[in-house]
Amino acid sequence: MRAVIQRVSQAQVTIANKEVAAIKTGLLILLGIEASDEASDIEWLANKIANLRIFDDENGVMNNSLLATNGDVIVVSQFTLHASTKKGNRPSYIKAARPEIAIPLYESFVKEMERVISKPIQTGEFGADMKVGLVNDGPVTILIDTKNKD
């Protein structure tokens, strides 16, 4: 599982000119799932993201987590996070999980994030043509891959 975590002061997802998700302060999480991902990846990733100390404290130092700030979350599925650009100029998405594998894992991740942060989160729509807008605060952008937990 790969996640791009962006600290935002606002973010929104639009599908067919209709806003389906919007938050103020919090995290926009772009989530890519590969076929070898499993339940243990979901639990580890949700806890890691919720506890990342990437929000400013009263001194302007990144010491606070999403949990400490009670920030909001949008999760957007993004299979292109598993693009391979090793050969040629056309990315290959062979490592990205097929929908029958990815959708249940995506839905489980959303539920686990809600459990960990004890509040509902918003999402895009799996497989939809989405327009994602955000104001990246900082900017702070972090990439996490559950296959590399160092």
- Catalytic positions, please? 78-80
Structural contact between residues 117 and 69, judged by C-beta atoms closer than 8 angstroms? no
d(CA 109, CA 118): 14
Upstream peptide bond of 139 is cis (omega within 30 degrees of 0): yes
Residues contacting residue 123 through CB under 8 Å, at least 6 positions apart: 13, 20, 21, 74, 75, 76, 110
Pairing assessment for the beta strands 2-15 and 18-23 based on DSSP bridges = antiparallel
One-letter amino acid at 79 equals: F
